[in-house]
Amino acid sequence: PKKVIGLEGYGLKIVEQIPIVAEPTPYNVDYLRTKKEKMGHKIPDDVLKKVGNKSDKEK
């Protein structure tokens, strides 16, 4: 994520990242997409495609 760049800007060396992958639901998939697109989170596309968003379910 972009926070790694921010921490490195303070002279900290990031030696490892351990991902925590939350299974997407129709209620959080838009939030997870936003984290990926705007904040640089490393969420695989195939994980996000497993579920539609809440508005798709309500149609």
Per-residue model confidence (pLDDT) at position 59 = 46
Q: State yes or no: pLDDT of 2 exceeds 90.
A: no
Assign residue 16 a region (left: φ > 0; alpha: ψ between -120 and 50; beta: otherwise): beta
Q: Which residues contact 1 (CB under 8 A, 6 or more apart)?
A: 35, 39, 40, 41, 42
Query: Over the stretch 10-50, which tens digit does the pLDDT of each residue have?
Result: 999 999 988 887 789 999 999 999 999 999 898 888 888 88
Q: State yes or no: pLDDT of 53 exceeds 70.
A: no
**Could you tell me the residue ranges of all domains in the chain?**
18-58
